[in-house]
Amino acid sequence: MTRRVVVSGMGVIAPNGRSVGDFASALERGVSAVGPIRRFPTAAYPTRIAAEIDDFEWPGPGEPPRDWSVLDRIARFAAGAAAQAVDDAHLASLRGEKIGVLIAAGFGSYDHEEVFRSCAAGRRDGGFDWKKFRDEFRCAVKPRALERRTPGAVPALVARHFGFRGPVMAVMTACAAGTQALGDAARWIRRGDADVVVAGAADSELYPMGLASFCLLRALSKRNDEPQRASRPFSASRDGFVLGEGAAILILEELEHARARGATTYAEVLGFGSACDSFRVTDPHPDGAGAMLAMKRALDQAGLVPAGVDYINAHGTSTPLNDRVEARAIRSLFGEHAKRVAISSTKSMIGHLTVAAGAAEAVATVCALQRQIVHPTLNLDDPDPECDLDFVPHAARPMRVEVALSNSFAFGGQCASVALGRVARA
Amino acid sequence: MTSIPERDELERQVIDIVADALSQPRENVQPYSSLMDDLGAESIDFIDIVFRLESAFDMIIPDEQLWAGSLDLPNADAAAIQRGVVLLREQAPLFRWDRFPNGVEKRDLPRLITVTTIVDYLSKQKEAAH
Amino acid sequence: MKTRRVVVTGAGAVTPFGDLAQTAEAIREKRSALAPVSRFDASPFGEERGGECRSFDPRPWFRQPKSLKVADRRTRLAVAAARMAAVAARIDDRPLASAGVVIGTSASDLQTEECALAVGNGGDVRDIDGFGGRILSKLNPLWLLVNLANMASAHVAIELEARGPNSTITTDWIAGVQAMGEAARWIEDGEADLVIAGGADCGVLPFVYAALEDAGYLGGGEPPFVPAEGAAVFVVEEREHARARRAPVLAEVTGYASAAGAQALRQTMDDALQQSGKRDVDLLCRAAIFVPEHWRAEDDAIDSVFARPPREFECNSMLGNGLAAASPIALAVALGMCRDEERLLLNAVGATGEAASIALTTGGRE
């Protein structure tokens, strides 16, 4: 008897909304959350725009996690989104059960001053003064440095705050991680390792070193004078992605378990696929081998054929390479049906949430299934003829959405795809 | 203030940089070897090579000017690209033009980068600085 | 009754003693690999020693030598150990096509000295305009790719030409054990017949020492906590798939669990043993974190799970603590020490309270 997996709660902290309702509504209205970066001076940077979240305080319910004041942004976003989702799914009534936590958290959990004051202090001509480095670190260090240094601390933090006793894991397949987390959590439930998993992702690369590292890779759009038009997936004039930040958490639950306790069932996780291009360090395989394999594996696990898919929430970063290759992979896998499936990119409005992208985009996809409306791809004024598929330009489209795929692809060639379906009214 | 040497020495140094960045033996790096098609370069390798050239010759190389990797020329139209390609065919008959039986499109430009195109570009910068 | 069973058909390791065979021999002879750290002066942090893989040369293991320039230490260790495991499992000579890859790791190398070079002399790092300008003009532009945790899994896949499911686990120091456990789940679930899984980590980094000192872990214990680097990677395979190709079988994976919070380790040991079908084991590979609270917590968990404490094994005292690689390395060595049909339990514990356990039964060598 196969166990089925549903989404029974959600939480989102995103540049365009700090609740699922606000998030979905902003996406449907086609509102861009991109603007000039406010948090730190960017005059020295070639890219000076992003989809930012202003200072984020604990929204409740209840007390914030221990050490809230020294938690970095990523941990705060994760905890905040988890609180929303846990509340939404009424998990408080499940005290004592083994609830798992599976969260992908980004890399940048270090503090600018801790790191760079130490580096600067240790620097000297002809060598490095490690005593000065260490002494400066002792001055600059904030509490619990060991916990903050590892992205693995985020799921443990969430588990501890809510008192969850189930399996716990952090995945970090970079930009595929948000989707990866959902697939892994669904597997845990299918196998009976848990009946409920708090699953999702959180990230922020919007700090001086993070922004610099992406600028150095020439990955970002430089359309600084028109921030809201910079993220333009699948358009001919796309020139790179726009960084976003935030977190999204989905409560995944075994179907009968959810029904027995009267939980809302927003959507079903039908299948998951993971693959690796195994080609180059960052350039995607020209035929999208990894992308195709991931999508195909998700569909196979769901028992579906491509023609059964109504909507694809694309990875759609707005880089020249990804969008071309992703469109090609969709055409190859979907054949005739490629022209009929609706495809849109959430990144066109909220930018690239990097590690968190797949989770936020899964929430967008669940909302599409729930509300039967697909959000648009913004800024598609000049569609790239090499992409040439239906990317739902400009305006949201009410339509029948029974089955959807959400894609996430990473530097290194890791590809993840999750198939989500509308839960039939019982 | 750039410090670009004369052509022979410049070519020697560029070959060193390309060979090192792409982990290729020096003898593989011929003047008309395509960095992508013959020497295995991907987008990040062009970024790496530009950085090494900038460090070696104390200069800035704006992104668009090396046709670097996946950095498509932002405003080049098809006509401008074709004019450039015609010129290049005349200058570089030894290049593997047979790989482009249907002509060269904008996204093929990174495949045209060779040691010779890099040296030509740097020599022009050297002239312009004087 | 499980329809798909999971076996281990190859193991590879890189440790401060060398490869797996060299490591096993050194541990039999009870030697110590701990020595003053060579790549930076660690004495200001209260522990001048580390477990460094000094004789390790990554170059023979990379078919794509160009990858080395973006491969940090743990990626190099992971690729070498993965290829060693593939050789041991007799699958190194072909593209692995649908094989999966999952590596567990925890520590990121921020490339301290390079950052320092770029940040430069003078100026307050809080002057972001100056900071940004210097970083953007002086730092190696591929910096991010060197640090990204998922690159270890990516490079292993590229080197082995593996296009199966691919993941990277970063749950602190339990990540390597989790990678093996998750690999077993992928196989049981039918997502792959073969997965390259293990742990790779480098704890011999300035910011790791700085954070450990801040947590009070360094410079006092008996035995002391000494950070180390290393990797142990395994070929994990569906049992019939292994039999069909007459693969060597080192062990079967019989149980796996993870948890966080109070009593986490007790819970994971219980769960893994319950899945394995028997409560007793012949050998317990301890997490062996040489910090009093962690050591006592593991003692307590062992006492509460076993009526009679089993024989124990640890090698962190000789190798140092390889963070997410520590427990996988202990397993690789222990498998070589056991006879057939012996039951093992492997523990891993993280600094932030996570725990994972894997139960295995050795044998089936063909």
User: What CATH code is carried by the domain that includes residue C198?
Assistant: 3.40.47.10
CA distance C151 to C153: 5
CA distance C230 to B39: 32
Distance CA A371, CA A401 (A): 9
Position C25 scores a pLDDT of: 97
Instruction: Give C141-179 pLDDT, tens digit per residue.
Output: 999 999 899 999 999 999 999 999 999 999 999 999 999
Which of B23, B47, B51 has the CB atom closest to C66's CB atom? B23
Cβ(C192)–Cβ(C165) below 8 Å: yes
State the count of interchain CB pairs (< 8 A) between A and B: 29
Do the beta carbons of residue A18 and residue A59 sit within 8 Å? Answer: yes
Instruction: Check A257, A315, A387, A415 and give the catalytic one.
Output: A315
Residue contact B74–A216, C-beta within 8 A: no
CB contact A319 to B (< 8 Å)? yes
B107 in reach of chain A (CB within 8 A) = yes
Residue C54: predicted pLDDT: 97
Per-residue pLDDT, averaged over C219-232, amounts to 92
CB contact under 8 A, A112 and C125: yes
Judging by DSSP bridges, how do beta strands A245-254 and A5-13 pair with one another?
antiparallel
Residue of chain A whose alpha carbon sits nearest to that of B105: A386
Identify the residue whose tokens are 């509102």.
A31
Q: Any catalytic annotation for residue A315? A: yes
Distance from CA of A312 to the nearest CA of C (A): 20
The tens digit of pLDDT for each residue in C330-361 reads: 999 999 999 999 999 999 999 988 999 999 99
Predicted pLDDT at B71? 32
pTM for the model stands at 0.96
Distance between CA C236 and CA C189 in Å, rounded?
Answer: 13
Given a contact as 3+ CB pairs under 8 Å, which chains touch A? Answer: B, C
Nearest CB neighbour to B42, from listed A281, A319, A324: A281
Q: Max Cα separation, chain C? A: 67
Structurally, chain C folds into a number of domains equal to 3
A45 to each of A40, A214, B63, how far by Cα in Å? 11, 11, 14
CA distance A318 to A295: 20
Q: Given an 8 Å threshold on Cβ–Cβ distance, is B63 in contact with A218?
A: yes
Q: What is the pLDDT of residue A109?
A: 55
DSSP class per residue in A282-318: SSPPTT-HHHHHHHHHHHHHHT--GGG--EEE----S
Task: Give CA–CA dist A306/A299, Å, rounded.
Answer: 7
Is C79 in CB contact (< 8 Å) with chain A?
Answer: no
Residues C71 and C216 placed together within one structural domain of the fold: yes
Residues in chain C within 8 Å Cβ distance of B52: none
End-to-end Cα spacing for chain B: 10
> Å from A316 to nearest chain C CA?
21
Strand partners, C232: C13, C199
Q: How much is the pLDDT for C2?
A: 66
- Cα A81 to chain centroid distance, Å, stands at 12
**CA gap C305, C280 in Å, rounded:** 9
The three-class DSSP label of residue A382 is: coil
Confidence of residue C366 (pLDDT cuts 50, 70, 90): very low
Which residues are A375's β-sheet partners?
none
Q: Is the pLDDT of residue B74 over 90?
A: no
Choose among B22, B40, B47: nearest Cβ to C141. Answer: B47
Mutation site for B-interface testing, chosen from C69, C139, C145, C155 by largest number of B Cβ within 10 Å: C69
| Rounded percentage of chain B residues whose pLDDT exceeds 90 | 48
Residue with token string 């069909």: C244
Q: Kindly state the DSSP code that residue C246 receives in the 8-state scheme.
A: T
**Binary contact (A149, C44; C-beta < 8 A):** no
Domain CATH for B118? 1.10.1200.10
| A212, A127 contact by CB (below 8 A) | no
> Is B60 contained in some domain?
yes
Provide the 10 A C-beta neighbour count for residue A379.
26
- DSSP annotation of A172: -
Give residue-wise pLDDT tens across range A93-103: 887 688 999 99
pLDDT at C1: 52
At residue C361, the pLDDT reads 97
The pLDDT, as a whole number, for residue C259 is: 94
Whether residues A280 and B42 touch (CB distance < 8 A) is answered with: yes
Q: Where are the domains of chain A?
A: 5-109+150-421
Q: Which residues contact A68 (CB under 8 A, 6 or more apart)?
A: A58, A76, A79
Whether C1 is covered by a domain: the verdict is no
pLDDT in tens, B15-38: 999 999 999 999 999 999 999 999
A5-109+150-421 has CATH 3.40.47.10 classification? yes
Q: Residue C162 pairs with which residues in a beta bridge?
A: C97
Residues of the domain holding B101:
7-128
Q: Given an 8 Å threshold on Cβ–Cβ distance, is A320 in contact with B69?
A: no
* Residue C70 forms contact with A (CB below 8 Å): yes
Which of the following is catalytic: A161, A175, A215, A415?
Answer: A175
For chain C, positions 292-331, list CB contacts with chain A under 8 A.
none
Whether residues C167 and C304 share a domain: the answer is no
* Chain B CA closest to residue A236: B74
Rounded distance, CA A404 to CA A338, Å?
13
> Based on the number of CB atoms within 10 Å of its own CB, is B90 exposed (0-12), middle (13-18) or buried (19 or more)?
exposed
Chain A window 200-229: which residues touch C at a Cβ cutoff of 8 Å?
A: 208-209, 211-218
Q: Is B63 on the interface with A (CB under 8 A)?
A: yes
Q: What is the mean pLDDT of residues B60-82?
A: 63
List chain A residues with pLDDT less than 70: 96, 108-110, 149, 424-426
Interface of A with C in 156-195 (CB under 8 A): 156-157, 159-160, 163-174, 177, 180, 184, 187-188, 190-191, 193
The rounded mean pLDDT for chain B is 85
Q: Which of C110, C115, C189 sits opposite A191 (nearest CB)?
A: C189
Q: How far is it, in rounded angstroms, from Cα C332 to Cα C10? A: 9
Mean pLDDT of C65-86: 97
Minimum CA–CA partner of B39 in chain C: C66
- A250 contacts A102 by C-beta, under 8 angstroms: no
A-to-C residue pairs, Cβ atoms closer than 8 angstroms: 289
B110 and chain A: CB distance < 8 Å anywhere? Answer: no
- Output the pLDDT for position A108: 62
Longest dimension (CA), chain B: 42
Q: What is the mean pLDDT of residues C73-79?
A: 97
The answer as to whether B2 is a domain residue is no
Query: Per the residue annotation, which of A352, A367, A375, A387 is the catalytic one?
Result: A352
In a domain, C182, yes or no: yes
Say whether residue A1 is in contact with chain C using an 8 A CB cutoff.
no
What ipTM was assigned to the predicted interfaces of this complex?
0.95
The reply to whether omega before A61 is within 30° of 0 (cis) is yes
Residues 145-164, chain C, touching B (beta carbon < 8 A): 145
Find the mean pLDDT for residues C265-269.
97
Please, which residues 99-118 of chain C have a Cβ atom closer than 8 Å to chain A? 100-101, 106-108, 110, 112-113, 115-117
pLDDT of residue B66: 64
Q: Do C172 and A123 touch (CB under 8 A)?
A: no
| Facing residue for B44 by CB, picked from A217, A239, A320 | A217
Cα–Cα distances (Å) from A259 to A4, A5, A182, B71, in that order, read: 11, 11, 20, 52
pLDDT above 70 covers what percent of chain B?
89
Owner of token pair 């409005």: A349
Neighbours of C122 (CB within 10 A): 8
The residue from C140, C158, C188 where one domain ends is C140
Contact status of A41 with chain C (Cβ, < 8 Å): yes
Residue pair A217/C144 in contact by the 8 Å Cβ criterion: yes
* Domain span holding position C187: 6-110+143-244
B122, β-bridge pairs: none
Do C57 and C134 lie in one domain? The reply is no
Taking contacts as CB-CB distances below 8 angstroms, the residues of chain B near A320 are 70, 72, 107
User: Would you tell me which residues 5-34 of chain B have a C-beta closer than 8 angstroms to some C-beta of chain C?
Assistant: 21-23
In chain C, alpha helices (H) = 20-28, 73-88, 112-119, 128-138, 143-147, 151-160, 175-188, 206-214, 239-244, 264-276, 292-305, 316-319, 326-337
Question: How far apart, in whole angstroms, are the C-alpha atoms of residue A162 and residue C103?
Answer: 28
User: Does C85 lie in the same domain as C185?
Assistant: yes
User: Are the beta carbons of C149 and A172 closer than 8 angstroms?
Assistant: yes
Q: Say whether both C202 and C340 belong to one domain.
A: no
| pLDDT for residue B64 | 64
Q: Residue B47 and residue A218: Cβ atoms within 8 Å?
A: yes
Q: C144: which chain A residues are within 8 Å (Cβ-Cβ)? A: 213-214, 216-217
> Does residue C63 sit at the A interface (CB-CB below 8 Å)?
no
Residue B67, in any domain of the structure: yes
What total number of domains does chain B contain?
1
Locate the chain B residue with the closest alpha carbon to C62.
B23
